Amino acid sequence: MDNSSGVGVLDKAALVLGALESGPATLAQLVSATKLARPTAHRLAVALEYHRFVARDIQGRFVLGPRLGELASSAGEDRLLAAASPILKVLRDHTGESAQLYRRQGDHRICVAAAERPMGLRDSIPVGATLSMLAGSAAQILLAWEEPDRLHRGLHGASFTATVLSAVRRRGFSQSVGEREPGVASVSAPVRGPSGRVIAAVSVSGPIERMGRQPARLHAQAVVAAANRLSQVMQRTEH
């Protein structure tokens, strides 16, 4: 089969990326794997590094870069949002409370999908709303499974502690009462991608007077089930 697209430089760049799929490589290993001339392999690898498709490890070897993960995440975002809408509506109808889906973006979390309680007292979070990573059950979920260094940085100024996050990891869900906003309670659970990494948090939120001081007793089972369904969809569609 002809592997040429007719655009030589792209074909060669694809060879470099393909060679790095199996792990870090020195320039000599890249040349051996791609059969490209050494100057060509070096020029392409450095150009791909400039655009963050390639990076270097601590030993200076070439590795796949962060831009690839960012693009994959964006591709997954469409699938995540398409799958989330019906699942959030079922969760809202089952619990009688507003349901949301959050993703982390830097030091904030963004509400990327929501199913509002149609009437009565509710916690209304519009899609696109930017909330703090320092308070609330969804923030706990999005931080709890981070790498240790990032987790500890995220705890600076937070309303919750490392001990709370340890309990979140053990139980598989989180709850907050008046943490993000006075009078509001919430319960959240993690959505995982194909690699098992936490990519989002599913939540229900509403007034404390209806959800109580232990909202997880009422809603944890339903929230975890919704998050698991969304995880299953993401893992199926990305295989």
Q: In this structure, are 125 and 203 located in the same domain? A: yes
Q: In this predicted structure, what is the pLDDT of residue 1?
A: 40
Q: In this predicted structure, what is the pLDDT of residue 27?
A: 95
**Whole-angstrom Cα distance, residue 156 to residue 74?**
29
Token readout for 110 is 């963004």
Among 74, 104, 123, the domain boundary falls at 74
Quote the pTM value: 0.69
| pLDDT of 190 strictly over 60 | yes
Average pLDDT over residues 21-46: 93
CA separation, residue 86 to residues 81, 83, 90, 148, 220 (Å) = 10, 7, 6, 34, 19
**Whole-angstrom Cα distance, residue 176 to residue 199?**
20
Q: In this structure, are 99 and 133 located in the same domain? A: yes
Assigned domain for 204 exists: yes
Q: In this predicted structure, what is the pLDDT of residue 185?
A: 95
Q: In this structure, are 141 and 203 located in the same domain? A: yes
Q: In this structure, are 130 and 60 located in the same domain? A: no
**Whole-angstrom Cα distance, residue 159 to residue 201?**
18
Q: In this structure, are 126 and 179 located in the same domain? A: yes
Q: In this structure, are 85 and 158 located in the same domain? A: yes
Q: Mention every residue, 6+ apart, whose C-beta is less than 8 A from residue 46.
A: none
How many structural domains compose the chain?
2
Q: Single out the residue of 198, 227, 196, 193 nearest to residue 76, CA to CA.
A: 193
Q: In this predicted structure, what is the pLDDT of residue 67?
A: 83
For 213-236, the pLDDT digits (tens) are 999 999 999 999 999 999 999 887
Q: In this predicted structure, what is the pLDDT of residue 120?
A: 66
For a pLDDT cut of 70, what percent of the chain falls above it?
93
Assigned domain for 146 exists: yes
Token readout for 222 is 């339903």
Range scoring the smallest mean pLDDT among 1-10, 20-29, 91-100, 127-136: 1-10
Query: Rounded to the nearest 5°, which phi and psi values hold at 113?
Result: -160, 150
CATH number for the domain harbouring residue 28: 1.10.10.10
Average pLDDT over residues 74-88: 82
Q: In what order do the strands lie in the sheet with 174-177?
A: 130-132, 108-115, 98-105, 198-207, 184-192, 174-177
CATH number for the domain harbouring residue 219: 3.30.450.40
For residue 4, name the pLDDT band (cuts at 50, 70, 90).
Answer: confident
Q: In this predicted structure, what is the pLDDT of residue 74?
A: 64
For 99-136, the pLDDT digits (tens) are 999 999 888 999 999 999 877 666 678 888 999 999 99
98 has which bridge partners? 205
Please give the mean pLDDT across all residues of the chain: 90
Helix (H) or strand (E) holding 79: helix 66-95
For residue 201, name the pLDDT band (cuts at 50, 70, 90).
Answer: very high
Which pairs with CB-CB distance under 8 Å and at least 24 residues apart come from 46-49? 47/13, 48/13, 48/16, 48/17
Q: Are strands 54-56 and 130-132 parallel, antiparallel or unpaired?
A: unpaired
| pLDDT of 139 strictly over 70 | yes
For residue 91, name the pLDDT band (cuts at 50, 70, 90).
Answer: very high
Domain that holds residue 101: 79-236
- For 17, other C-beta atoms within 10 Å of its C-beta total 18
